[in-house]
């Protein structure tokens, strides 16, 4: 069946169309929640994701830094969708837009309308050794793995009598000073220099080093200069060693090698430089792919394919500067909301709404009680920005249950040290 025949089926009311949403991340979930009730009642809807939860990625650094419990930042997909909607926990292998089929490991599914929101994956820019030796922060498993790594390293160091070996163990490098790298550095610096140093009486704080390596001139390059300078001062105060204008050319089991040939020793390297990666997570039939992302029209439909919407990190939306929109949750959420409304318009045979992105502002946490925020021409920093950051994230989270859980975790953090239980 070609996609134009699928479109005929959609407008032919005798057979209910099958709407399939690939990915229950920001794009997929907001597509689903923005579908009008009558669409959810009258049409067959299937959601497919390899995980059974929605992950609130902006709070991943807090899980890695042991200030939030991992269950607090995920929501079961079955709590989000209606019970009569089909959810399939499976991995999408490929999509064929000529036959309107999706290939899963053990079955093939046919769709009439498809929404592809499978996100992105970490990009290492071909840096030798990075994929093998660096830790990443993209999924909940990554965050838990990283937190465990920090704990294990300190436990091992506390039993190491050789001072040189101990120092090596306690050296950490984060590569990339975009929002993820900076937020992680803020969180980890408190975990290392506050919680661990307090818990491990035998270890000397001067043996611990946390280096943030950044290929640009400044951290948080998308923020205005005064906020970048503020973030730099805050990180430095938190004992983070900032290395700007340094490009990592290799990651080894013993640290990173830079473009000047310098070796920065570290037993733990975290790669956040490529979280806005451009590679796709599935092979995608006949889509037009540019810089790893699927080219869309102004209505978020894959170019020349009228029954397939592509949203979020996967989509290369046409912009004046030809760079596409940033790969952020804000963009994915708004694209999901527009797509939900446009599916109902497509089903009614009405013209679609073009997608218009409204930038809501930029926020980055620098650890407890400190953050920077930039909104509608205003700049905020320090405790006020931190409260703003927390409130906005809290109200963007899916359910009240999880909002209360996060609020409870944050309240406990005001009075107690981070939970360093090894899981
Ligand atoms: C650590 C971190 C911090 C971030 N902080 C912020 C922030 O503060 N603000 C902000 O705006 N953005 C932030 N982002 C970016 C934001 O998370 C993404 O831009 C956003 O999640 C993109 O939404 P999406 O729907 O395209 O993809 P995702 O939300 O990643 O969802 C994709 C879904 O597809 C599923 N999937 C992927 N491949 C397959 C497959 N083959 N088969 C089945 N299912 C599959 C995944 O399991 C996932 O559920 C952050 C990202 C990270 C990693």
Give yes or no for a contact between 89 and 104, defined as CB atoms under 8 angstroms apart.
no
Q: Is 328 near ligand 1, meaning CB less than 6 Å away?
A: yes
For residue 143, being part of any structural domain is answered with yes
**Burial (CB count within 10 angstroms: exposed 0-12, middle 13-18, buried 19+), residue 130:** buried
Structure tokens at 213: 């390596």
Statement to judge: residues 173 and 206 lie in one domain? yes
pLDDT at 276 over 50: no
Residue 410 has pLDDT above 90, yes or no: no
Same domain for 112 and 243: no
User: Is the beta carbon of 28 within 6 A of some atom in ligand 1?
Assistant: yes
Q: Which one is predicted more confidently, 10 or 207? A: 207
Residue 291 belongs to some domain of the structure = yes
Task: Let me know how long the chain is.
Answer: 423
Among 107, 96, 102, 92, which Cα is nearest to 25's?
92
User: What mean pLDDT value characterizes the chain?
Assistant: 90
pLDDT at res. 413: 85
Q: Which comes out higher in pLDDT, residue 227 or 377?
A: 227
Which of 94-98, 201-205, 222-226: highest mean pLDDT?
Answer: 222-226
pLDDT tens digits for range 234-252 = 999 999 999 999 999 999 9
Is residue 353 one of the residues assigned to a domain?
Answer: no
- CATH of residue 164's domain is 3.50.50.100
Query: Percent of the chain beyond pLDDT 70?
Result: 93
Q: Which one is predicted more confidently, 378 or 16?
A: 378
- Ligand 1 atom at shortest distance from the alpha carbon of 326: 19
Is a pLDDT exceeding 60 seen at residue 75?
A: yes
Report the pLDDT value the prediction gives residue 277, as an integer from 0 to 100: 34
Assess if residue 221 is contained within a domain.
Answer: yes
Expressed in angstroms and rounded, the spacing between residue 89 Cα and the centre of ligand 1 is 16
Residue 2 has pLDDT above 60, yes or no: no
Q: What is the CATH number of the domain that holds 113?
A: 3.50.50.60
Q: Which of 84-93, 189-198, 404-413 has the lowest mean pLDDT?
A: 404-413
Pick 17 or 219 by higher pLDDT.
219
Same domain, 266 and 330: no
**53 in ligand 1 pocket by Cβ < 6 Å?**
no
Q: What percentage of the chain reaches a pLDDT higher than 90?
A: 72
Query: What pLDDT, on the 0 to 100 scale, is given for residue 280?
Result: 42
22-32 tens-digit pLDDT:
999 999 999 99
Same-domain status, 140 and 284? no
Residues 158 and 240 in one domain: yes
**Please, which pLDDT band fits residue 8 given cuts at 50, 70 and 90?**
low
**For 254-267, what is each residue's pLDDT tens digit?**
999 999 999 999 99
Q: Which of 348, 375, 395 corresponds to the end of one domain?
A: 348
Whether ligand 1 lies within 6 angstroms of the CB of 169 is answered as no
The atom number, within ligand 1, closest to the CA of 315 reads 26
pLDDT category of residue 290 using cuts at 50, 70 and 90: confident
**Pocket of ligand 1, candidates 31, 182, 313, 366: which has the most ligand atoms within 8 Å of its Cβ, to mutate?**
313
User: Ligand 1 pocket check: which of 93, 329, 385 to mutate, most ligand atoms within 8 Å of Cβ?
Assistant: 329
- In a shared domain, residues 115 and 196: no
Q: Rounded to whole angstroms, what are the CA distances from 245 to 242, 248, 258, 260, 296?
A: 10, 10, 10, 11, 35
For 310, what's the count of Cα atoms within 13 Å in the CB-facing half-sphere? 30
Q: Give residue 228's Cα distance to chain centre.
A: 22
Asked if residue 71 belongs to a domain, the reply is: no
pLDDT in tens, 341-352: 999 999 999 999
With respect to residue 310, please indicate whether it lies within any of the assigned structural domains: yes
Closest ligand 1 atom to the C-alpha of 139? 53
User: Ligand 1 within 6 A of 119 CB?
Assistant: yes
- 309-356 residue pLDDT tens: 999 999 999 999 988 899 999 999 999 999 999 999 999 999 999 999
Ligand 1 centroid to residue 308 C-alpha, Å: 19
Q: Are residues 211 and 331 in the same domain?
A: no
Name which residue sits closest to atom 36 of ligand 1, judged by CA: 118
Q: Which of 300, 323, 348 represents a domain boundary (last residue)?
A: 348
Ligand 1 pocket check for 175: Cβ under 6 Å: no
Q: How far is the CA of 64 from the centre of ligand 1 (A)?
A: 17
Structural domains in the chain (count): 2
332 lines ligand 1 (CB under 6 A): yes
| pLDDT for residue 285 | 54
CB of 92 within 6 A of ligand 1: the answer is: yes
Q: Are residues 105 and 146 in the same domain?
A: no
Residue 330 lies in domain: 3-50+90-120+278-348
Q: 109 and 39 in one domain?
A: yes
In angstroms, the CA 357 to CA 317 distance is: 10
Same domain, 243 and 283: no
Query: Do residue 44 and residue 188 come from a single domain?
Result: no
Structural domain ending residue among the three candidates 302, 318, 348: 348
Same domain for 323 and 381, yes or no, is no
Instruction: Give the number of the atom of ligand 1 that is nearest the alpha carbon of residue 138.
Output: 53
314 C-alpha to center of ligand 1: Å?
10
- For residue 375, is it within any domain? yes
């Amino acid at each position: 069946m070609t996609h134009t025949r699928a479109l005929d089926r959609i407008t032919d009311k005798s057979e209910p169309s099958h709407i399939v949403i690939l990915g229950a991340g920001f794009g997929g979930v907001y597509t689903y929640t923005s579908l009008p009730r009558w669409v959810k009642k009258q049409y067959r809807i299937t959601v497919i994701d390899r995980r059974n939860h929605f992950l609130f990625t902006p709070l991943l650094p807090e899980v890695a830094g042991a200030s939030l419990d991992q269950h607090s930042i995920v929501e079961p997909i079955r709590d989000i969708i209606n019970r009569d909607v089909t959810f399939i926990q499976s991995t999408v292998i490929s999509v064929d837009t000529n036959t309107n089929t999706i290939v899963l490991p053990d079955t093939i599914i046919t769709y009439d309308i498809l929404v592809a929101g499978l996100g992105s994956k970490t990009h290492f820019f071909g840096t030798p050794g990075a994929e093998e030796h660096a830790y990443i922060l993209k999924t909940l498993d990554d965050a838990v793995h990283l937190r465990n790594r920090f704990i294990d390293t300190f436990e091992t160091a506390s039993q190491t009598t050789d001072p040189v070996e101990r120092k090596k163990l306690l050296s950490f490098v984060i590569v990339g000073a975009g929002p993820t790298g900076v937020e992680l550095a803020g969180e980890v610096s408190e975990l290392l220099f506050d919680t661990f140093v307090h818990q491990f009486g035998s270890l000397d704080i001067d043996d611990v080093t946390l280096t943030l390596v950044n290929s640009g001139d400044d951290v948080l390059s998308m923020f205005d200069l005064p906020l970048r300078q503020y973030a730099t001062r805050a990180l430095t105060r938190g004992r983070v060693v900032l290395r700007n204008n340094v490009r990592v050319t290799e990651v080894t089991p013993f640290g990173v090698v830079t473009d000047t040939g310098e070796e920065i020793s570290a037993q733990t390297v975290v790669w956040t430089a490529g979280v806005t990666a451009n590679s796709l997570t599935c092979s995608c039939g006949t889509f037009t792919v540019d810089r790893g992302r699927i080219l869309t029209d102004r209505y978020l439909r894959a170019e020349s394919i009228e029954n397939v919407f592509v949203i979020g990190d996967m989509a290369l939306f046409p912009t004046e500067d030809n760079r596409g929109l940033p790969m952020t949750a804000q963009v994915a959420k708004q694209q999901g909301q527009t797509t939900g409304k446009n599916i109902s318009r497509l089903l009614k045979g009405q013209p679609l709404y073009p997608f218009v992105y409204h930038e809501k502002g930029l926020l980055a946490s620098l650890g407890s009680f400190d953050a920077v925020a930039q909104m509608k021409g205003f700049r905020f920093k320090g405790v006020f920005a931190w409260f703003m950051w927390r409130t906005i994230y809290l109200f963007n989270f899916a359910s009240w249950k999880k909002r209360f859980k996060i609020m409870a975790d944050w309240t406990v953090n005001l009075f107690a040290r981070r939970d360093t239980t090894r899981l």
